[in-house]
Amino acid sequence: MKKFLLHPVTVTTIVLVVIFSLPFVITKGDVHLDDKGLREAAAKHNLSPVPKDAKERLKTMQNPQNPLSPEKIVLGRTLFFDTVLSKDRTINCASCHILEEGGDDNMPTAIGIHGQANPFHLNSPTVLNAALAKAQFWDGRAKDVEEQAGGPVQAPFEMGMTPEEVEARLNSDPAYRQQFSKVFGEGKITFEKVRKAIGAYERTLLTRGAYDRFLEGDDNAISPAAKRGMSLFITKGCSGCHTGMSVGGQSIQKFPLRRYLSDYIGLLFEPDMRLKESPFPFVNTGGFLGKDSKQMFRVPILRNITKTAPYFHNGEVKELEEAVRIMSKYQIGNEFTKEQIDDVVAFLKTLEGEVAAY
C-alpha cells in the first residue's frame, strides 16, 4: 500500500493555522455579573453616568479657559446652525453633525462646499458628548472642542474659509457685532472668539439614557440581554479603551492590534486588490492611517453609536454587528459568537440618549 506523505510546507501551514486559531477554539466561559456587580465593575473601569442634576452637569461641561454663560452658549448655537461660516453659505456645522441623527451625518465621508468629499474619505465623528473626550478628530490632533471647531471652517474641502474671511464677514454684520459684544465685551470679532462660542455650545451636548439610569440604580432600565452585553463589554476588555463618562474618546490606540495568518491566506483568494493593500480588516478607502500614519486612532465615543452608522474612520463597515465582531477579533483577540454580538449590541443600544437640557 502506497503511503501518503504531506509536503513539509503543507505541514507547517497546517500547524500555523491551528496555532493561530486556538484563541477562537479555547475560550473562557462568559462572566455574567449581577446588577450590583455590574455597577461595581463599571465604576472600577471609570464608566460613569452623565449627571442627572443640571448643576453637576455644568461642572462636567466647564472649561476654565472658556467659561460657560447662557449668552455664550446661545451665540455658539446660532453660529453652529448658520451657513455664514461656509464660503458659499450653503453648509453649516449641523450639516455634518445632525443632532437628531446621533450627532453625525450617517454618510461614509463628510461632504463640504461644492459637493466636495473629504480627500481621506473620513467619517464624521459624533459631536454629542464630544466635549468629554480628551482629544478630537480621528487622529486626536485637537485637544478640545474649542480647537476642533476651527478645523472644518478652514478646511478647503469642508467650509473653505480663512480666519480673516470669517472675521470680516461677521464684523460686517450688526447683529453678530452686538451678540459678540454682550459675550466677550467690546472689540472686534476674532476667529478665536468664534471657536470659543461654538465650543461652549458643543459642551452642552451631553446625552442621558437608559444606561445612565441603570448606573444610578434603576435595575429595570436595561434588558437582561443588555446586562449580559455589558458584562461582556467589561469582562472581555472593551471598557479598557471605551471608558469614561463618554464611553470612549479618552485615548489614542493602535488599530488593529492583531492580525491572523488566516487573513493572509484568505487574501490569496481575494479578488479585490484594495483589500490586499489595506492594513485593516476592510478596504482602506481614502488611505488614511491615523496619527503619524501609524494606525493610531482616537477611540470612538460609543454613546449613541447605534445612530452613527457607518463605522470606522472611513465608514467602510455598515452594520454595528460587524463592527463589534471586528473589534472583538482584532482588538481583544477573542472573536465573539453571534449570541455574544447580539448581547453587546443590546448593551450598546442602552447608550442611546437625548441631549440633557441646560
Grid cell in block for residue 26: 479555547
Per residue in 258-307, pLDDT (tens digit) is: 988 777 666 666 666 566 678 999 999 999 999 999 999 999 999 999 99
Helix (H, G, I), strand (E, B) or coil at 311: strand
Per residue in 90-115, pLDDT (tens digit) is: 999 999 999 999 999 999 999 999 99
Burial class of residue 19 (count of CB atoms within 10 Å of its CB; 0-12, 13-18, 19+): exposed
Domain 21-50+207-355 sits in CATH at 1.10.760.10
Which has the minimum average pLDDT: 1-10, 132-141, 214-223?
Answer: 1-10
Q: What is the pLDDT of residue 36?
A: 97
Compute φ and ψ for 211, nearest 5 degrees.
Answer: -55, -45
The answer, yes or no, to whether residue 83 has pLDDT greater than 60, is: yes
pLDDT band at 17 (very low <50, low <70, confident <90, very high): very low
Name the DSSP letter for residue 140.
-
Q: What is the pLDDT of residue 31?
A: 82
Q: Which residues are catalytic?
A: 158
Q: What is the pLDDT of residue 2?
A: 46
Which has the minimum average pLDDT: 12-21, 74-83, 294-303?
Answer: 12-21
Domain limits, CATH 1.10.760.10, in the chain: 21-50+207-355, 54-202
CA distance 109 to 95: 12
Residues with Cβ < 8 Å from 10, sequence gap 6 or more? none
CA distance 153 to 161: 6
Domain 54-202 sits in CATH at 1.10.760.10
